Structure 1
Amino acid sequence: MDDQATTSNWSRWMIGIAIGIALVLLGAAGGIALARSSSPDNAPTAVDIGFNQDMSWHHLQAVQMANLVPSRSDDTDVRQIAFDIGSTQLEQIGRMKGWLNMWGELEQAPAGQLMTWMNADHHHSASGVDGRRMPGMATSQELARLRGLSGKEFDVLFLQLMTRHHEGGGAMSRYAAGKAAVPVVQNLANSMVISQDAEVLTLKAMLASRNAQPLGTG
């Protein structure tokens, strides 16, 4: 790779980082403003707090996977959906972190206590990273494999992992959409249900067109 191409790639990478930071800051500022506009009668409950803590963590992995795509895939459709997912979820992380900061609840729940804000009928015994997985989260081994691939093999595994990731987070979003006390949290959760359900259909269609099948739920 010549010096000009190296400089161009470096510039694109720096621009991407700058856009990501801007989206988080914008989302945080918007989240605080929206939460402050909510009725004081709608104080955050364990559902509001737990959903924002856990979904921020869940979203972060999707953003990390999406960020791998530009350097490993030449497929225009895969690059586009990765950009859409990464930018949307980064902005949503900013909003959720903004609310949590305003509530003084930024600290993530300890291992083994994730998703306890959901009742027994909806609770999944899973958690974070390195063996602590929430539903749909890729394992450290799966992420390592993804990082080691490129081209069509990367595209298929990325689409498989992202499909499972979206489906796994759906239970949290649906629960929060119906049970959260703060209206802006309910609205965000509901918008996640709608947008991610649509994206799952797209991801599955993309897999089918590449002669591949979704992974089992995790």
Structure 2
Amino acid sequence: MGAVGLLYVGAVLFLNGVMLLNKVDPRAAGIFNLFVGALQVIVPTLLIVTNQARPAAILAASGIYLFGFTYLYVGVNLLGNFDSTGVGYYSLFVAVMALGYSFANFRVLNDPAFGVIWLYWAYLWFLFFVLLGLKKEQITRYTGWVTAIEGWVTAAIPAFLILTGYWRNPQTVAVILAIFGVVVFGGLWPLTRGREPSAAAPAPSDEELGVSDQRHRPRWT
């Protein structure tokens, strides 16, 4: 069941990534964030309720709430056109906790592959904190690419391999993921700096809209 939820985490991360690259309207992405956020709250609840005698399973399921609440928060934020600061500082909390879950996967659950994947997520949610909490918009393009790539590498592909029975050799997978992350995300940094995506069309002025406020304009950062 957890792998099913992880598959759709891949979908929402990919969608949010391309949204940051100005390929998807924020309000359209907000709806799908609510769908996946609800799924990521229901799934761990069912896993915990049905595994009361298995502390390791409860530990593994408990981390899913971090992401479920993220997507619900993002979805409401996008649809309501709220300021992003709350999502940003919540992302800092998730980034710190992700380091703890990475340690737990390495030392408690004996799953080095997901130990590395949790490090990926810690890095991504820290980027969300810098972008949304600290308002450092110069990393928008970089964060968009990292988000979209992580949607496939940390969620969609692992989930599909788990569901089909091909998720094997976690030690080897951990090494491959670690090398991939350093090379790709390190290489993306100089390629994306100073090349922020521009809006597809200029926003209409207040005079053109006939209003004196901007509350109904979509905003992500």
Using the size of structure 2 for normalisation, the TM-score is 0.31
- Larger RCO (CA within 8 A; separation ≥ 6): 2
Using the size of structure 1 for normalisation, the TM-score is 0.31
When you count helix as a share of all residues, which structure comes out higher?
2
